[in-house]
């Protein structure tokens, strides 16, 4: 198991040397590495191109499934709220991480910790405004269509 974390950290260090952020991830199933990823924001200009999500995308595409039950994630850093949420949606069983959110703050990468704190607040107290706009009378309801289809 340590070999997977070692690989995640190795990927993170290599990514820093290549101009990226210090994050690497390895996705494992049944004791075997299935995919790996690094943060590629600097290459793709995509804020979702985090190491964990990159590894998940590879496996999901390969398997033609969004479900990753039975998988374990090894991440060089504590997953941000976006990555953690994606792993919950995919059904990943366990996440191991090396550097904590506090370590990231000390390195100048503290946005994830700030977002975790922001999400603890009621919606009305958050920095980003969220406005509910109900359906108009007579407007087709996509949620109702989904319910009927299921």
118 is known as an active-site residue: no
Catalytic hit among 14, 52, 140, 148 = 52
In a domain, 137, yes or no: no
The confidence score (pLDDT) of residue 73 equals 98
The total of structural domains in the chain comes to 1
pLDDT band at 46 (very low <50, low <70, confident <90, very high): very high
User: Which residue range(s) make up the domain with 22?
Assistant: 3-129
The yes-or-no verdict on residue 1 having pLDDT over 70 is no
pTM of the model: 0.90
In a domain, 42, yes or no: yes
pLDDT band at 110 (very low <50, low <70, confident <90, very high): confident
The CATH number of the domain holding residue 40 is: 3.40.140.10
SS (H, E, C) 17-68: HCCCCCCEEEEEECCEEEEEEECCHHHHCCCCCCHHHHHHHHHHHHHCCCCC
In a domain, 65, yes or no: yes
């Amino acid at each position: 198991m340590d070999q997977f974390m070692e690989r995640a950290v190795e990927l993170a260090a290599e990514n820093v040397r290549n101009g990226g952020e210090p994050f690497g991830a390895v996705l494992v199933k049944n004791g075997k590495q299935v995919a790996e990823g690094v943060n590629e924001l600097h290459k793709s200009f995509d804020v979702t191109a985090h190491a964990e999500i990159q590894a998940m995308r590879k496996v999901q595409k390969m398997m033609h499934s969004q479900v990753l039950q039975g998988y374990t994630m090894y991440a060089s850093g504590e997953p941000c709220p976006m990555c953690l949420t994606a792993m919950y949606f995919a059904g990943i069983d366990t996440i191991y991480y090396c550097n904590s959110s506090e370590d990231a703050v000390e390195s100048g990468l503290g946005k994830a910790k700030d977002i975790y704190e922001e999400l603890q607040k009621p919606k009305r107290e958050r920095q980003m405004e969220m406005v509910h706009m109900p359906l108009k009378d007579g407007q087709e309801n996509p949620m109702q269509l989904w319910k009927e289809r299921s």
